[in-house]
Structure 1
Amino acid sequence: MITTDHRPNLVAVAVFGEFTLADYKEFEELVNYKIQFEGPVSLLFDLREMAGFTLDVAWEEIKFSRKHAHDFRRVAVLTQDQWLTWSAWISQIFVDAEVLVFDDETDARTWLEATEEPAQ
């Protein structure tokens, strides 16, 4: 299950339990809408309560990241899990956004808000 929150140029997602393909599709739909109408966005993934993810989510994430390689400003990942930290680092291969891992939500949001506004 996921919860989503969005503000101008930011999409925040918190995952609880198993991250399923239906959850990921919900995330994709929101991000696609934001990109279409606002341009590049920053992402906040709160994975501290995630119990795992399905293989189809991993595959969908790779496809989505490649398709939107230039559509993200910054990506903050909240986790204390070393595997997820490594996974976040690997995802930088597919996107040109800065990706950082945090264990404190305030620090993550502060870093995301420090993003410069895009040129109009």
Structure 2
Amino acid sequence: MISIEHRDNLVAITVFGEFALADYKEFEELVNYKIQFAGQIDLLFDLREMAGFTLDVAWEEIKFSRQHAHDFRRIAVLTSDQWLTWSAWVSQLFVDAAVQVFDDEAEARDWLGATIEAAE
């Protein structure tokens, strides 16, 4: 299950339990809409409550990242899991965005907010 928050050029997603393909498709749909009308966006992935993800989500994420290699400014990942930290690092190979891992949500939002303030 996921929870999505969006405003201006930020899309924040929180994953609870297993991240399934239907959840990822919901995320993709919103991101595609935001990119179409707002241009480049920032992403915040809160994966602290994620129990895992299905293989089809991993494959979809690779395809989606390659399609949108230039559509993100910054991507903040909230996790303390070393595997997810490594995965975030690898995803930098597919996108031009700055990707940073945080364990504190306020720090992640501050980092993403610096992008919005700098653009104004």
Question: By the TM > 0.5 criterion, same fold?
Answer: yes
Aligned length: 118
Aligned runs of 1:25-40 on 2, under 5 Å? Answer: 25-40=25-40
Q: Residues of 2 paired with 1:113 and 1:56: CA distance?
A: 32
Shift of 1:117: 1.7
Alignment of 1:24-103 (within 5 A): 24-103=24-103
User: Scaled by the length of structure 2, what TM-score is found?
Assistant: 0.97
* Fraction of identical pairs, as percent: 79
Partner residue of 1:117 out of 109, 115, 119: 119
- SS of alignment partner, residue 69 of structure 1: coil
Structure 2 SS opposite 1:74 = strand
Q: Structure 1 unaligned runs (5+)?
A: none
Structure ranking higher in helix proportion: 2
Q: Under a length normalisation based on structure 1, what TM-score does the superposition of the two structures give? A: 0.97
- Taking the aligned partners of 2:113 and 2:72, their CA distance within structure 1 comes to 13
* SS of alignment partner, residue 30 of structure 1: helix
Question: What secondary structure sits across from 1:93 in the alignment?
Answer: coil
TM-fit CA distance, 1:52:
0.1
Cα deviations across residues 55-88 of structure 1 (Å, max 9, x unaligned)? 0000000000000000000000000000000000
SS state at 1:70 partner: coil
For 1:113 and 1:63, the matched residues in 2 are separated by: 27
Structure 2 residues without counterparts, runs of 5 or longer: none
| Distance in 2, Cα, partners of 1:33 & 1:84 | 26
